[in-house]
């Protein structure tokens, strides 16, 4: 605004008219802007209240009740759901265990593959776009039931994996391996973080690499000293997004394991168990309490990542 | 004589360097190509299996190509479950994915314009809240929503699937906001002077320029809706309302499934819309993810 006024003397007559017109216009259109603005965002705003805010508040209330969909009277039971969850429900802890293992392995592995392949594809060679499409393909179909069905069969006892590698492993029957079939499926779909890494790699100024070659740095040093630090904002972004997403994994675990977390609840991911409590047992109060624990876990983890980011994420223009 | 031998030497050096570069390129393509093929192998295997005889699939698991190309799996699979054919399932999927996508993208574009170009009181707060909802796990909304839709008698209708989409989706709103911010404001201002209203500016000036962002949002919205399993699974429990993804799951139930050729045929077929869009709109997809960090 200040700039506009200061430049008035040197501006052309047309500009001057335009500027004066705008000041008058702003005064009388401020309230009008409010109306128009709210009209435009109203679809989201209404949806936000109806389908996010009110349901979230409702699920917080439900978390302290024994509400079920079977027609029994609703009672406030205080912290009983949480007490039961944390101290009595053994299956709950099995599902927490499975989920933490899943996220702990799937996210870093997926990001490692994504970065590795992105570096391979960060070249001007001919045909690279074909490879990019090939590597991204698993991600575009990965959320589908079709791929889950396929994955279940290729890891079956007489499936492709055993046949190709001459193994005789019962991937889904053996508690040692069952979760790993889900983790490999997650890692296989590294396409989206890969594309984001690829865009990030292209942003790194070439001069940095040229200067370091003159100084005699080898490929490993260049990766550790230039690529990795320059990519930290993107690594951070991917890490946050992937962590949030992988905590919510449902469809594949549901289809592949038949929805009951077998064997021995090793694949009973949190959303799967929550689904069972809500829609198999109809314990809506208990399931709501579970959903709030999930929400808080994700919130705390995200906060921890954000706080830690001050130590390891470098933004351009940082002089540290 | 010596005058000739010198260029000859440099020629051999140049050739060997070119050979070296060629060798390097070859190595690169072999390495990256083989990994790429390995990535695609499970999908290729499934598609190939859909043309095999059911018994052939498991007796010779390693073989990729079928002995004879059979289309019976597709005709058998299409018959579906319990007298309900895949025609019904595809119809339901297209209702959900078609209308759901149109609703979601249209609403997102309108909301995005409000956030990007109109100054109103509380804009910052709402925008921040909208971004915060990106991090919300769906599970925390799911149960109360289900209870209310159940009370309204809307189980086994499309309302619970489609109504929430009229509010747009934070991902797409954010993406389109970023895109609108990149459009110069000169045209807006000129139109404003000419007496054009804000909605006039949106429909006549901004919307035509939004094409790439809208295409990207449409593709992703369609993908995610097409693949969505949880929502239709919870709300559409009657078999004649099942979508393709829900039907595939019952169709392939390990307890009862026997005709694996047909199962793979229907699974492959369900991926076809996704692949067709991918082939034609690859550029939009890649740019969309790279610039906004969309999930997937």
pLDDT digits (tens, 9 = 90+) for B92-148: 999 999 999 999 999 999 999 999 999 899 999 999 999 999 888 999 999 999 999
User: How many whole angstroms from its chain centre is CA A87?
Assistant: 30
> Rounded to an integer, what distance in angstroms lies between the CA atom of residue A276 and that of residue A259?
8
Residues of B in Cβ contact (< 8 Å) with A299: 135
Residues of B in Cβ contact (< 8 Å) with A253: none
- Report which listed range, A38-47, A197-206, B46-55, B284-293, is most confident: A38-47
For the packed helices B244-251 and B260-292, what is the interaxial angle rounded to 10 degrees? 140
User: What pLDDT, on the 0 to 100 scale, is given for residue B146?
Assistant: 94
Residue A1 has pLDDT above 50, yes or no: no
Q: Give residues 219 to 278 of A whose Cβ lies within 8 Å of B.
A: 237-238, 241, 244-245, 247-248, 250-251, 254-255, 258, 271, 274-275, 278
pTM over 0.90: no
Q: Is the ipTM of this complex over 0.90?
A: no
CB contact under 8 A, A40 and B290: no
Residue A39 has pLDDT above 50, yes or no: yes
For Cα atoms B253, B258, B260, give the angle at the middle one, nearest 5 degrees.
Answer: 90
What residues form DSSP beta bridges with B84?
Answer: B81
Contacts of B141 (CB under 8 A, 6+ apart): A51, A52, A55, A56, A59
Residue of A nearest to B198 (CA): A36
> Rounded to an integer, what distance in angstroms lies between the CA atom of residue A54 and that of residue A26?
36
Query: pLDDT by residue (tens digit) across B186-195?
Result: 888 888 888 8
User: What pLDDT, on the 0 to 100 scale, is given for residue A142?
Assistant: 84
Quickly count: other Cβ atoms within 10 Å of residue A299's Cβ.
15
What percent of chain A has a predicted confidence (pLDDT) above 90?
Answer: 50
Query: pLDDT by residue (tens digit) across B70-106?
Result: 888 999 999 988 889 999 999 999 999 999 999 999 9
Q: Please indicate if any CB of chain A lies within 8 Å of the CB of B249.
A: yes
User: What pLDDT, on the 0 to 100 scale, is given for residue B32?
Assistant: 92
Residue A25 has pLDDT above 60, yes or no: no
Query: pLDDT by residue (tens digit) across A65-116?
Result: 999 888 788 889 999 999 999 999 999 999 999 999 999 999 999 999 999 9
User: What pLDDT, on the 0 to 100 scale, is given for residue A164?
Assistant: 84
Residue of B nearest to A243 (CA): B135
Structural tokens at position A119: 């570096």
What rounded mean pLDDT belongs to chain A? Answer: 86
- Cα(first)–Cα(last) distance of chain A, in Å? 34
Query: pLDDT by residue (tens digit) across B205-237?
Result: 899 888 888 998 999 999 999 999 999 999 999
Residue B50 has pLDDT above 70, yes or no: yes
Q: Give residues 136 to 155 of B whose Cβ lies within 8 Å of A.
A: 136-148, 150
Contacts of A264 (CB under 8 A, 6+ apart): A94, A175
Quickly count: other Cβ atoms within 10 Å of residue B69's Cβ.
9
Residue A10 has pLDDT above 60, yes or no: no
> Rounded to an integer, what distance in angstroms lies between the CA atom of residue B154 and that of residue B231?
13
A193 to chain B, closest Cα gap in Å:
8
Quickly count: other Cβ atoms within 10 Å of residue A77's Cβ.
16
Report which of A62, A252, A59, A57 is spatially closest to residue A143, judged by C-alpha positions.
A252
Structural tokens at position A88: 């009595």
**φ/ψ bin of B9: left (φ > 0), alpha (ψ from -120 to 50), beta (otherwise):** alpha
Structural tokens at position B187: 């045209």
Query: pLDDT by residue (tens digit) across A220-268?
Result: 888 898 899 999 999 999 999 999 999 999 999 999 888 787 788 888 9
Residue A147 has pLDDT above 70, yes or no: yes
Structural tokens at position A312: 């390891």
The dihedral through the CA atoms of B239, B243, B246, B248 has a sign that is: positive
Query: pLDDT by residue (tens digit) across A40-68?
Result: 999 999 999 999 999 999 999 999 999 98
User: What pLDDT, on the 0 to 100 scale, is given for residue B14?
Assistant: 64
What residues form DSSP beta bridges with A76?
Answer: A65
Structural tokens at position A89: 């429900």
Please tell me which residue, B183 or B105, carries the higher pLDDT value: B105
Report which of B236, B79, B107 is spatially closest to residue B166, judged by C-alpha positions.
B107
Mean pLDDT for the stretch of residues B273-292:
79
User: What pLDDT, on the 0 to 100 scale, is given for residue A320?
Assistant: 40
Task: Give A156's pLDDT tier (boundaries 50, 70, 90).
Answer: confident
Structural tokens at position A174: 């053996």
Q: Which residues of B72-82 are buried (b: 16+ CB within 10 A; e: fewer)?
A: ebbebbbebee
Could you tell me where the DSSP H helices lie in B64-210?
72-78, 86-94, 100-117, 123-133, 139-151, 159-162, 170-181, 186-193, 198-201, 207-209
B141, B197, B252 member nearest A51 (Cβ): B141
Please tell me which residue, B32 or A257, carries the higher pLDDT value: B32
> Rounded to an integer, what distance in angstroms lies between the CA atom of residue B270 and that of residue B248?
9
Structural tokens at position B1: 């004589």
Residue B4 has pLDDT above 50, yes or no: no
Residue B166 has pLDDT above 90, yes or no: yes
> Rounded to an integer, what distance in angstroms lies between the CA atom of residue B37 and that of residue A135?
9
Task: Give B1's pLDDT tier (boundaries 50, 70, 90).
Answer: very low
User: What pLDDT, on the 0 to 100 scale, is given for residue A319?
Assistant: 43
Mean pLDDT for the stretch of residues B251-261:
80
Residue B294 has pLDDT above 70, yes or no: no
What rounded mean pLDDT belongs to chain B? Answer: 87
User: What pLDDT, on the 0 to 100 scale, is given for residue A2?
Assistant: 37
CB contact under 8 A, B296 and A191: yes
**Mutation site for A-interface testing, chosen from B35, B39, B244, B282 by largest number of A Cβ within 10 Å:** B39
Query: pLDDT by residue (tens digit) across A274-319?
Result: 999 999 999 999 999 999 999 999 999 999 999 998 888 887 654 4
Contacts of B48 (CB under 8 A, 6+ apart): B64, B65, B66
CB B285 within 8 A of CB B278: yes
């Amino acid at each position: 605004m200040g700039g506009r006024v200061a430049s008035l003397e040197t501006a052309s007559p047309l500009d001057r008219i335009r500027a004066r017109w705008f000041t008058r216009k702003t005064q009388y259109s401020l309230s009008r802007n409010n109306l128009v603005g709210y009209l435009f965002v109203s679809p989201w705003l209404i949806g936000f209240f109806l389908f996010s805010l009110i349901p979230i508040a409702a699920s917080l209330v439900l978390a302290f009740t024994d509400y079920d969909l079977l027609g029994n009277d609703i009672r406030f039971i205080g912290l009983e759901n949480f007490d039961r969850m944390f101290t009595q429900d053994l299956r709950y802890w099995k599902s927490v265990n499975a989920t933490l293992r899943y996220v702990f392995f799937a996210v870093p592995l997926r990001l490692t593959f994504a970065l590795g392949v992105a570096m391979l594809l960060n070249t001007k060679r001919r045909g690279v776009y074909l490879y990019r499409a090939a590597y991204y393909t698993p991600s575009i179909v990965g959320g589908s039931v079709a791929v889950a069905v396929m994955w279940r069969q290729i890891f079956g006892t007489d499936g492709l994996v055993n046949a190709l590698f001459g193994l005789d492993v019962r991937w889904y029957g053996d508690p040692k391996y069952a979760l790993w079939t889900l983790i490999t499926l997650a890692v296989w779909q590294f396409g989206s973080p890969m594309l984001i890494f690829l865009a990030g790699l292209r942003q790194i100024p070439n001069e940095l690499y040229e200067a370091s070659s003159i100084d005699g740095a080898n490929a490993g040093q260049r990766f550790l000293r230039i690529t990795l630090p320059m990519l930290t904002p993107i690594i951070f972004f991917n890490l946050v997004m992937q962590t949030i997403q992988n905590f919510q994994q449902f469809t594949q675990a549901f289809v592949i394991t038949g929805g009951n977390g077998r064997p021995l609840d090793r694949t009973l991911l949190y959303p799967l168990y929550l689904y069972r409590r809500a829609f198999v047992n109809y314990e809506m109060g208990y399931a709501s309490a579970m959903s709030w624990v999930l929400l808080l876990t994700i919130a705390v983890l995200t906060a921890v990542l954000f706080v830690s980011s001050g130590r390891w994420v470098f933004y351009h223009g940082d002089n540290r | 004589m010596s005058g000739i031998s010198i260029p000859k030497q440099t020629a051999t050096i140049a050739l060997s360097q070119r050979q070296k570069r060629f060798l390097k390129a070859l190595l690169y393509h072999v390495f990256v190509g083989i990994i790429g093929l390995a990535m695609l192998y499970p999908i290729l295997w499934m598609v190939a299996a859909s043309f095999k005889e059911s018994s052939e699939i498991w007796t010779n698991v390693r073989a990729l190509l079928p002995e004879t190309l059979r289309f019976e799996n597709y005709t058998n699979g299409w018959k579906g479950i319990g007298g309900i054919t895949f025609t019904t399932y595809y119809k339901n999927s297209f209702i959900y994915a078609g209308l759901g996508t149109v609703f979601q993208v249209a609403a997102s574009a309108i909301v995005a314009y409000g956030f990007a170009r109109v100054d109103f009181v509380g804009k910052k707060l709402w925008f921040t809240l909208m971004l915060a909802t990106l991090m919300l796990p769906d599970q925390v909304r799911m149960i109360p929503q289900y209870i209310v839709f159940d009370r309204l008698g809307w189980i086994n209708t499309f309302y619970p699937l489609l109504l929430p989409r009229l509010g747009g989706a934070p991902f797409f709103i954010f993406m389109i906001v970023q895109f609108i911010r990149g459009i110069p404001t000169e045209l807006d201002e000129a139109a404003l002077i000419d007496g054009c209203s804000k909605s006039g500016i949106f429909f006549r000036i901004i919307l035509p320029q939004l094409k790439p962002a809208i295409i990207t949002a449409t593709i992703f919205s369609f993908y995610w809706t097409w693949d969505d399993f949880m929502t239709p699974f919870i709300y559409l429990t009657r078999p004649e309302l099942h979508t393709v993804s829900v039907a595939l799951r019952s169709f392939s139930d390990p307890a009862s499934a026997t005709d694996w050729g047909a199962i793979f045929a229907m699974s492959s077929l369900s991926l076809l819309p996704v692949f067709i869009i991918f082939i034609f709109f690859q550029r939009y997809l890649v740019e969309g993810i790279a610039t906004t960090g969309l999930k997937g």
